[in-house]
Amino acid sequence: MSPRPPGPRTVPAYVATSRHSAPRRNTFGELTRLKRCGGYEPAGLDPPQTHLLHLLAAGSLTVVEVSAHLRLTVHAVCVVACSLVDAGLVEARAPIPEAEKVDTTLLERVLVGLQRDRFG
């Protein structure tokens, strides 16, 4: 048996999700980007919901990143995030499709050209 990792114990998923077993929508993936909407925090939120909102105060994170920070399963984060999206507190964006990603070789060529103009 491997030793338990340092830090606080992981919250059981059924506790973190307020006993919900599945998200209300099936649009969340591991790379779905979550962003906080507005700066207010209504009363009556569960601790995982509050922690997620505090994490997103600094900027957007993917579901996998939130899962690592909160030490919850990806599925549990999807359930918690879904409830916050439904409440209008969090915005969820699908990952950028492969076809729409920026071509890095083109950007590197532009950078080399700009450096040549500046230093050449």
pLDDT recorded at residue 32 = 92
Is residue 62 scored above 90 in pLDDT?
yes
What mean pLDDT is predicted for residues 34-60? Answer: 89
pLDDT recorded at residue 90 = 93
| Pairing mode of beta strands 33-36, 61-62 | antiparallel
Task: Spell 4-37 as b/e; 16+ CB within 10 A means b.
Answer: eeeeeeebebeebbeeeeebeeeebeeebebebe
pLDDT recorded at residue 66 = 94
The C-alpha atoms of residue 99 and residue 91 are separated, in whole angstroms, by 23
Q: What pLDDT band is residue 102 in, cutting at 50, 70 and 90?
A: confident
What mean pLDDT is predicted for residues 11-20? Answer: 53
Is residue 116 scored above 60 in pLDDT?
yes
Contact criterion met (CB below 8 Å) for 77 and 66: yes
